[in-house]
Every structure is written in C-alpha cells, then in structure tokens.
Amino acid sequence: MPKFFGKSKGNKARSKKAEESPLFSNESKSESKSSSKSSAFDQRQARRKERQAESSKRKQQRDKRDQEQANAKAKEEAKKKKRSKPKLSQAEQDAQDAKLGCCHKFAQLIVKIVHGLDLLIGLTFLVYGGLIFASFSDPAMEAVITSLTFGSVMVFTSILGGIGFISSKCKRCGLTLSAWTAPFIAFFYLFVIIAIIGDPDTYFNYLTEHQDVMYLNDAEILTMKNLAPLFCIILGSLAAVELCRFFVLRGVRRTLVRYDGASSRILASQRSTTSKRSKGSSTSSRTSGYDNDLSEPLIGSDEEV
C-alpha cells in the first residue's frame, strides 16, 4: 500500500511537470488558437449567411416593389388609353354628327308624341276653363284659374317644343325651355295625387258645391269618386312621362345642335370648294383666250411674208 500511494504521488508529480513543460504549453496554446480560429471562422460564416439572407430579402422586396410599380404604371396607361380615344378630324367629326341614328329618331318620335299629348291636354283645359268663365255669371273661379293656367302652360310648352324641332335658330332654345317645364308639370301632377289621396272629401265636396257651373251632376261626381285610384294612376303615369321627356329631350337637343353645326360646316366647305373650282375654271379660260389672242397676230405676219 505505501508503494502504491508513492507511485500515485509520483505520477501526479510527473503530470504536473509535464503540464508545466514548454511543449505542453505550446500544444495547449496551439489548440486554443485553433479553437479560437474555428470559432471566428464560424462567426464569420454565420455573419456572411445573415448578410446574404438580408440581401436576398431586400432584393425580393425591391423586386416586389418594382413589380407593383410596373403593374400600377400599366394600369394607368391602360386607363389613359381608354380615356383618350383617338381624336377625329373636324371633317370626320362633322360627317359623324351629320348622321342621325335610329335611336335618335325613335327618341325624337317619342318626344313629339308627348308634345302632341300635352297640346291636347292643354287645349282641353283651356276650352273647359273658358266655358266655365264665359257661360256663368258666378263661375267657380278656383277651377277657372287652375284650368286656364295649367292649359296655357301645356299649350305654351308644346308650341315651344314644336318650334324647337322645326327651327334651328338660337341653338333650338325652344327645346330647352320645353324640357325645363316638364319637371314643374310632373310636380303639379304629383301635387294633385297627394291632394286626392290625403283629403279626397275636400276635393269632391268642392265639385258637389259647384257642379252646376262645372257641367257636372251627382252621378258623374260619384263615378269620379269611385275611379279616384284610377285617376291617381293616370296622373302618376303622366308625371313619369314628363320626367322622361325632360331627360330625353335634353339629349335630343344636344344631338340636333351638333347636327346643325355639322351640316352648316359641311355646306360651307362644299360652297368654298365649288367657288374655288369656278374661279379656277374662269382663270384657265382667261389664260387660254389670252394665248389665242397672242397667236393670231403671229399667224397673220407669217401669211404676209
């Protein structure tokens, strides 16, 4: 046992000496240097990978941003192309405006029919109001004023519309005035509908009180009272027709104004071309006559020789 302990102590002493020896210290230093070098290399590799990942990420973001900008530019260019239609020359535009299509002719026919209907309604109210006012010494003045006013407006509107269709003076202002009276007529129809629905007794009591001077009797008033919903439907339809006339007539007027301008410009260009041709033919005839006058003396002198 003592020998064993003595050997172990000797081994420990040798190991301490070996560790303290310069060779062992150099090896440990080299190992520490190699480990430090490997750790630094690993760190550099990790940083390089991080930089590469960041650069690839930035590149992807940049490519995505460039793609979005390119798409936005393409959309803007497409919108500009849609908005900016190829501009026509004045002659081509005039030739296009000088043609009235089927849709315009159909709209014009509808508006003319509505004007004719308004004229008939206006004349009916004028005749009815005039009869009430002229035939009785104590007429129903409320009915007279309403009938004459409404009838005058309807007839005046129809006349303006007819003048606007016939004459192209003042950019067809008659159609403009006729169109802008349509909303007021529609409002009047709606007012009558609301009055009949809201308080029908007042309306029919007035008719009963003045039935003698309004050419009515009890049976007719009762029939009108029973047909009040039908009258409201008819008045509502007439109001809708007047509103449609307002919108359609404005478009018809714009088309007709363009048509008038194009037609006048086409006629002016045709007149100018014909005048130029006539001037050219007259100048050519004058020059030919002058040449003949010059050639005749020369021919006579040759004969004398």
How far from chain centre, in Å, is Cα 195? Answer: 38
**87, 114 in Cβ contact below 8 A?**
no
Q: How many Å from the N-terminal Cα to the C-terminal Cα in the chain?
A: 175
User: Can you list the alpha helix ranges (DSSP code H) found in the chain?
Assistant: 2-20, 22-83, 90-97, 102-135, 141-166, 173-198, 200-209, 218-226, 228-304
The answer to whether position 172 is within a domain reads yes
* 126, pLDDT greater than 60: yes
Q: CB neighbours of 284 closer than 8 A, spacing ≥ 6? A: none
**247, 215 in Cβ contact below 8 A?**
no
CA-to-CA dists, residue 58 to 45, 65, 67, 70, 206, angstroms: 20, 10, 14, 18, 87
Supply the mean pLDDT for the chain: 80
The first and second tokens of residue 168, run together, are: 């192209």
Identify which has the larger pLDDT, 205 or 17: 205
pTM higher than 0.85, yes or no? no
The answer to whether position 202 is within a domain reads yes
* 37, pLDDT greater than 70: no
The answer to whether position 116 is within a domain reads yes
The answer to whether position 79 is within a domain reads no
pLDDT score for 29 = 54
pLDDT score for 175 = 93
The answer to whether position 69 is within a domain reads no
pLDDT score for 1 = 44
* 144, pLDDT greater than 70: yes
pLDDT score for 31 = 56
The answer to whether position 54 is within a domain reads no
In this structure, what is the dihedral angle of CA atoms 252, 253, 254, 255, given to the nearest 10 degrees?
50
Mean pLDDT confidence for 116-138: 92
Tens of pLDDT along 65-108? Answer: 888 888 888 888 877 777 665 666 666 676 676 778 888 889 99
User: What residues make up the domain containing 244?
Assistant: 100-263
The answer to whether position 51 is within a domain reads no
Q: How many domains does the chain have?
A: 1
**Cα(154)–Cα(231) distance, rounded to whole angstroms?**
19
* 218, pLDDT greater than 60: yes
The answer to whether position 198 is within a domain reads yes
